[in-house]
């Protein structure tokens, strides 16, 4: 079985994945790509499961090392959104019909191909976004991934911190929570 989009693991995708609990002291997991191996991505695939009561938080953010390209999975007013920018405009996509801040387990799946994207929460309908006009399609030089909030370098603190439990996070085949649990040298865990 390919379990990447399920938030589960094991031979039949029924085993619980590595989970992290993000406490009140603004925990953050950061994954840094080696400088000589920063991917140029025409497409992205992301899935994770989580439980939270937070109405506003950043779950995951991917930043470029060479440009302003980014992707940010966030909760706004209890709804889940992904905002991504490949160099032209911010493209938001989200699910407005379900509140994910209800302290129950939700699974989010996001795919991007060029500027086009889909997002799905649990078994709700897949939402799609096909931006009009000329769009850049490559996420240049993915350099770091932040999980559980967004680090503000100037203020030296985590902003819009996630609180709750996150599990089974897979970004383009990278099982980020598993790598952090194994103390992979590319990962750094801050706070709680």
Distances (CA, A) of 121 to 39, 155, 185: 27, 33, 32
Q: What is the pLDDT of residues 93-141, one digit of tens each?
A: 999 999 999 999 999 999 999 999 999 999 999 999 999 998 999 999 9
| For residue 87, pLDDT beyond 80 | yes
Residues 42, 113: contact at Cβ < 8 Å?
Answer: yes
Domains of the chain: 8-190 (2.60.120.200)
Residues 109, 122: contact at Cβ < 8 Å?
Answer: no
Dihedral sign for Cα atoms in the order 152, 22, 165, 45: positive
For the entire predicted model, the pTM comes to: 0.93
pLDDT at 151: 92
pLDDT (average), residues 52-81: 97
Q: What is the pLDDT of residues 149-177, one digit of tens each?
A: 999 889 989 999 999 999 999 999 999 99
pLDDT at 12: 72
pLDDT at 174: 93
């Amino acid at each position: 079985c390919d379990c990447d989009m399920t938030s589960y693991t094991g031979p039949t995708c029924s085993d619980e994945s590595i989970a992290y609990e993000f406490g009140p002291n603004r925990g953050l997991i950061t994954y840094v790509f080696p400088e000589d191996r920063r991917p140029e991505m025409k497409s992205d695939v992301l899935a994770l499961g989580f439980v939270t009561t937070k109405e506003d938080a950043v779950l995951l953010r991917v930043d470029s090392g060479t440009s302003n390209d980014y992707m940010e999975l966030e909760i706004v007013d209890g709804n889940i959104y992904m905002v991504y920018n490949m160099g032209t405009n911010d493209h938001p996509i989200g699910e407005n019909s379900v509140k994910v801040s209800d302290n129950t387990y939700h699974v989010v799946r996001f795919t991007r191909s060029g500027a086009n994207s889909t997002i799905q929460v649990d078994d709700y309908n897949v939402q799609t976004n096909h931006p009009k006009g000329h769009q850049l399609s490559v996420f240049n030089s993915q350099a770091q991934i932040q999980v559980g909030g967004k680090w503000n370098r100037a203020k030296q603190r985590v902003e819009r911190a996630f609180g709750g439990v996150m599990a089974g996070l897979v970004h383009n085949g990278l099982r980020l929570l598993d790598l952090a649990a194994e103390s992979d040298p590319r990962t750094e865990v801050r706070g709680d």
